[in-house]
Structure formats: structure tokens, C-alpha cells
Amino acid sequence: MKVLKINPAYPQDFMRVFHDITNLFFEDTKIAKKEMVPDLEVHFTHSISDDHLIKTEAELHAEDEIYRSHYEQQYESEGTEREQKIRLKRALSHVLLDTLEQMTEIKQQWGILTGIRPTKLYHKFRKAGLTDEEIHQKLVSEFSLSDEKIDMLKKIVQTQLKTIPDLDQIHQEVSIYIGIPFCPTKCAYCTFPAYAIQSNRKQGRVATFLDGLHYEIEEMGKWLKENNIKITSVYFGGGTPTSIEADEMDALYKTMFDSFPHMEEVREITVEAGRPDTITEEKLEVLKKWGIDRISVNPQSYTDETLKAIGRHHSVQETIDKFWMARKSGMNNINMDLIIGLPNEGLDEFEHSIEETEKMMPESLTVHTLSFKRASEMTHNKEKYKVADRKTAEAMMHRAHSWTEEHGYTPYYLYRQKNILGNLENVGYSLPGEESIYNIAIMEEAQTIIGLGCGASTKLVNNATGKINQYHNPKEPAQYILTYQDAFDKKIDALNELYDIVKK
């Protein structure tokens, strides 16, 4: 752990950003309190001239060494008070980043960006009328991004606009997320709502949860019809939506098709079947019956020892068998996930996973980088899990980029997370025309996403103001069962307010 002292002290939101940037270089840092002896001490100075030139300087004191940096940025106008604050925060972040890069000799390809949606920033500049060249220059000068990352963002944005030509207008519609919180077991890296289905079934919670979910779907369908709001896409996530039985899936889809308006115009329906040990021929037949052919079959790794270590109770061979079972049954758009940096895996193991993927050639491949999420078992017991170092993780990601390019895949969405291995990213790749509309819509926050079911989040996007509010359903099945009706009413109130709908 490194203790960082900032001199002078800045507002809390500034200090949080400084902490996040320092964490890019060290596993764990703390901002020093009075009684703490710092390992690192940063001295900032800054000035803002009448012609809107911001200058910042930093001195980083580390042991017997001092590292210095200077940054300046010219702006055309004074800007609002909020804009002035953002500009200063960025300028100070630049000099802090630079001094830490000097000290550690680690170059941060994402520059000062610590947020999770860098493509959204690219879209913002695009919609403001900037050319690709102007956006590139802005991302370098104001955020210190590398050319490699900017080129990837440009390619992703181009693919997104080809996939959803009306991306800037789909705020007039909504997408639906339906959360089913059950899994066979919980993976060590996971913080999603994922509860053991067998124990919950014995306690009667699965059936009662499904009663609540049917209610939410039916009532939301009424609200959508009354207000003439169309659905762009529907996404069943979790947990693992295919954990429930085939007849339960069938009943759920029937309620959805009976309740939601204009289902024939919905552009995409996805069902995560991420755990291969939940896939059966009977469940695939149900999906086929309702015309759903976009699913996930997620290996995460093609090494059995790794699967055992992270708590996935299926084998590599089962993943392969279930993929071909799904393909034979008519699933024409299959996504597979791989995770970079899982315990005891290096470049050789990842190369093996790529070789196995090549035998199947799924329509899309999502490459995640391991993230130490605060509530995961892996984070709580880090000493149990030996994961790849930064250079190895970077090499694995570069291999993913090169392999997908060689085989005709294009990156189409990207997001980042805090505490992500090597300060890397998660990237969704697809073959042409097989991109997920839902993944683009939610990552770019292009429209309101209505969340139904356990642990589902409703993201309310106000297109006029750009403001985003979230409403969360209870995560635990027992709590959801007790409160889903009240929670639904509050969600409807929030939607009415967003759409300026007066209750009848």
C-alpha cells in the first residue's frame, strides 16, 4: 500500500480523481491523513489567466527523488463555473499522471481517463461537430490518450453508427433488461446478483420470484402501450437466465410477447446462457419456438483447472458440446466470453483459449479483463488467487486484438472498470452485422433502459438535459419477493416524471 499526500488539499471530488490515478500505478493507495507518514508527496501549483490559459505544475517527492511536470491548456472562453472546475481537475490530473509515469516508467495508454465509457466521450465530441482529426487531437491534448486507444475508439464508433444508423435518435424508444438472479454456483470474480438456484428452489423462492417478474412484465407492458413507447431491444441477464426450467422460460416469454407492444418491431432479443451447465436441448427448443436466436455460451477459459479455481462447475468439453448443441438447434448469433488474467493463467493459456475459440468461430467474442470488484470472493481473498502481472495482461489483450482482426472481427463496444488488471479494458468484437444492439445502447447511454426482475437497474436518460438517474430493484430474491409491487410503482413514478406523463 502507498500513502499519498496532496499539497495543497483540494475538494473531495478532486482528491477522489487523484486517488484513482495513483491507483493505476499501485495495487492500493490511500490519501494521507494527518497522522500518516506518506510514501509519496505531491505539491501542486496552478494559475488561470484572463485569456483562459490554465497552467499547472507538480512536484512528486518519492524517497530521495523528485519528479516534475508542467502542463498548460488554452481555452477559447471562460466557461461555466462547472466547466472551469472540470478543466482544472483535468490539468492537475495531467501533471500527476506525468510524474507518476516518470517515477514508475509505466505509460498509461488511457491517459487520465478513469471513467468506464471512453466511447461516450468520442460520441460527445462527434455530436458537437468535431471531425475525427479534431477529436483525436482533443483526446491527446486534454486526456493524454495513446494513438492506439484513440484509433480503437474511432473504429468502435464507426461500427456502432453502421449497426444503429439512428443511434442519436433511439432515445425516443427504450430497451428492456430482465434480470434472473439464479446460477448453478457463484463465480469467484462475480458481483452480479447470482444465487444458488437449487437452495432457492427448495425454499420456494424461484417460483415466487417468477410470479413477481410476470407481474412486472405485464404491468410494464400496459404502461408502454398506454404511452405509445416502442422497445428497441430486450436482454435477459442475471445470474444465468437459463438456470430456470424450460417450462418456466416458455411461460416467461409468453408473458413478454403477450404484454409488450409491437414485439414484431423489436430489433433484438438476447438471452444469456452463459453457464454451459444450464443449457439443454429442451431449453434451446423453447428459445427457437419464440424466435430467439441470440445467446451467450461463455467459456471464460478453456483450462479445466482454471474453471475449478473460479467456481464454475462445468468442464471445457461441456462448453464445446453445448456450443455445438446450440448451433445445431438453430442459434445463429452466439456470443462467447473470455477473461484475461484469471488465476494461474498466462499467455500460453490464453493462446490455448484463442485456438479453441477458432474451432467454433462464434458470431461475437467479448474479451474481458479481470477486475477486482469490491464485493467479489476473489477480492476478499486475493492471496488465494495468483493472477497475471501488467505486462502479461497487456500481451494477452494485444493477442486478442490481433487474433480478432485476423479473423474478421471488429470491435463494436468497449468499457472499463476500476481495479481492472493492467488498466486495460473490456472489448466486444463481432463479425460484420452480428453486433449486439443492446450492448451498444447501454454502453453509450443512448436511451432509457428499463430494468425488471431481481437486481435489475433502470437507467433513466433525459436526452434534453443529459442527466441520468438510476433506480435499482432489490438484489436478493427474498427481498424482491416482498417488495416488487412497491418497487414497481416507484419505477413507474420515475418514468412518468421523465416522460412528463400526468397520471390519469
Work out whether the CA dihedral 26, 32, 37, 38 comes out positive or negative: positive
Query: CA–CA separation, 499 vs 223, rounded Å?
Result: 12
Task: Say how many Å lie between the first and final Cα of the chain, rounded.
Answer: 58
Q: Is the pLDDT of residue 376 over 60?
A: no
Residue-level pLDDT at 383:
58
Q: How far apart are CA 218 and CA 200, in angstroms?
A: 24
Q: How many CA atoms lie within 13 A of 94 on its CB side?
A: 24
**pTM of the shown model:** 0.92
- Give the strand order in the sheet containing 40-48: 29-31, 2-7, 40-48, 53-62, 65-74
Share of the chain above pLDDT 90, in %: 78
Considering only the C-alpha atoms of the chain, give the largest distance between any 2 of them, rounded to a whole number of Å. 71
| Paired residues of 41 in beta bridges | 5, 61
What cell does 419 get? Answer: 481495479
How many Å apart are CA 26 and CA 32, to the nearest integer? 15
Residues 218-250 have pLDDT tens digits of 999 999 999 999 999 999 998 899 999 999 999
Looking at residue 370, what is its pLDDT? 87
Q: What is the arithmetic mean of pLDDT over 467-496?
A: 92
The pLDDT of 263-272, averaged and rounded, is 97
The model's confidence at residue 217, banded by pLDDT at 50, 70 and 90, is very high
Per residue in 132-156, pLDDT tens?
999 999 999 999 999 999 999 999 9
Confidence (pLDDT) at 377 = 57
Cell, residue 217: 412484465
Q: Which residue has the higher pLDDT, 382 or 368?
A: 368
What backbone phi and psi angles, to 5 degrees, belong to 237?
A: -125, -165
Distance CA 362, CA 454 (A): 29
| pLDDT tens-digit readout, 29-78 | 899 887 888 999 999 999 999 999 999 999 999 988 999 999 999 999 99
Give me the pLDDT at residue 188, please: 62
Lookup: cell for 482: 416482498
Task: Give the count of alpha carbons within 13 A of 500, CB side only.
Answer: 3
Cα gap 494→248, rounded to integer Å: 30
Calculate the average pLDDT of the chain. Answer: 92
